[in-house]
Amino acid sequence: MYAEIAQDCLAAIEPLLPYQAAAFYRVSAHFQPSDYVLRHMRQDMHQVYEAQFQQIDPLLPSEDAVQHAVLTLEESCCQPPQAVANYRQAFLQPFDIADVVEVFIQPTPTACFGVSLLRQMGQGCFQADDLALLHRLLPLLSVVTKPLIPAGTTNVLDLLTPRELAVAKLIAGGASNKVVANTLQMSLPTVKTHLQHLFDKLGVNNRTALAHRLYPSLVAH
């Protein structure tokens, strides 16, 4: 079933956003990719990637990358521009690949899958309209991948990233956004972003409801 659903996701994207090759994979809780399913991709290219380039891939999963949901090479969260340029030259160009975009699908807050879309030189790079389309497709892709999630009960705290948990503990204790920002050394807009993620993940719409939702788990924790 996994391979079939992975191919369904990749096939659903292709007529709307043409690409040369694509890959679908799982993302673990520690942001490790695994269980690749390939579409139109040369097997030797993927073998070279896994053997020589995976660990320096600018689009490897990370907490920041997953929060972006749709990520281009230029927006890489983990590599400086020169490293991205080296990656293009050493790996992508020999296989006639012009550009790559990564899509992170979260059918539930604790599950994540990745999609790599590759365009060859003749197709050019992904444009802003392409990225906007991928953002619009995310709800559909989440529905398609949801059957891959095992049934079971999840602890509320397991839904949160380490940074979100730190924010949540302070908010549940009555801290203001400014206090959270000062304590965790982040900007106020970043605090507000984390707070909105917490509301979305936990199905609440205000700080009081968030505190009530978290209290039993925080006490047990």
What's 195's domain CATH number?
Answer: 1.10.10.10
Number of domains in the chain: 2
* Residue 67 belongs to domain spanning: 2-148
Q: So what's the pLDDT on residue 200?
A: 80
Predicted confidence (pLDDT) at residue 138 exceeds the cutoff of 80 = yes
CB 159, CB 110: distance < 8 Å: yes
Residue 135 and residue 28 in one domain:
yes
Tell which of 115, 132, 148 closes a domain.
Answer: 148
Confidence of residue 43 (pLDDT cuts 50, 70, 90): very high
Domain edge (last residue) among 98, 125, 148: 148
167 and 216 share one domain = yes
Q: For the range 171-178, what are the long-range contacts, defined as Cβ-Cβ under 8 Å and sequence gap of 24 or more?
A: 171/195, 171/198, 171/207, 171/210, 171/211, 172/210, 172/211, 172/214, 172/215, 172/218, 174/211
User: Do residue 164 and residue 141 come from a single domain?
Assistant: no
Same domain? 126 vs 19: yes
Does pTM surpass 0.85? no
Residue 143: give its domain's CATH number.
3.30.450.40
Same domain assignment for residues 181 and 109? no
Q: How much is the pLDDT for 14?
A: 96
Residue 163 has pLDDT above 90, yes or no: no
Final residue before a domain boundary, out of 106, 123, 148 = 148
Q: What is the pLDDT of residues 96-137, one digit of tens each?
A: 999 999 999 988 766 789 999 999 999 999 999 999 999 999
Q: Indicate if the pLDDT at residue 5 is higher than 60.
A: yes
Residues 181 and 188: beta-carbon distance below 8 Å: yes
Q: What's the average model confidence in pLDDT over 4-25?
A: 96
